[in-house]
Amino acid sequence: MNENNFDWQLFFKIANEVLGEGSRNLEESKSYCAWTTFSALESTCNYWYAGIPALKDLDEKGHKDGGIWRQPFDFSDLAHIIIPRTFITDFGIEREQPISEFSKQLDKHNIEHRCTDLILEVKLY
């Protein structure tokens, strides 16, 4: 597991303010993301996906067990998160996320990220 100094708590606070709290159920989710960990990159290269975690799902170490992401993820193990401009629910409803506004807010707090027409991402490797 790699240690990183990225301010995930601030990142997710701003994400909740700009994108909205996510849900396990995409039909109910205001936001959507995919992520992987350094541990996963060393073995399976797995990416998980769900809504942006609620602030109540986070503590100083990371995402707590349960919650929107269903299992614990330490902030120090998060390697890559992707937030698409649009996502499609299981029922075919297309939702747009204001990633340009999210990017502006991250810039105000000097949070490193990359934003394109399609995605906003934080990549720590």
User: Rounded distance, CA 56 to CA 17, Å?
Assistant: 14
Q: Which amino acid, 109?
A: H
Reading the chain (125 residues) residue by residue, the pLDDT tens digits are: 445 668 999 999 999 999 999 998 999 999 999 999 999 999 999 999 999 999 999 999 999 999 999 999 999 999 999 999 999 998 999 999 999 999 999 999 999 999 999 999 999 99
User: Rounded distance, CA 111 to CA 83, Å?
Assistant: 15
Main-chain dihedrals φ then ψ at residue 24, nearest 5 degrees: -65, -35
User: Rounded distance, CA 122 to CA 66, Å?
Assistant: 23
- Let me know if 2 is exposed, middle or buried by CB neighbors in 10 A (0-12, 13-18, 19+): middle
State the pLDDT at residue 2: 46
pTM of the model: 0.92
Main-chain dihedrals φ then ψ at residue 15, nearest 5 degrees: -60, -45
User: Rounded distance, CA 121 to CA 84, Å?
Assistant: 8
Structure tokens given for 23: 């849900």
User: Rounded distance, CA 28 to CA 11, Å?
Assistant: 22
State the pLDDT at residue 28: 92
State the pLDDT at residue 3: 53
State the pLDDT at residue 1: 43
Calculate the alpha carbon distances from 83 to 47, 56, 78 in Å.
13, 20, 14
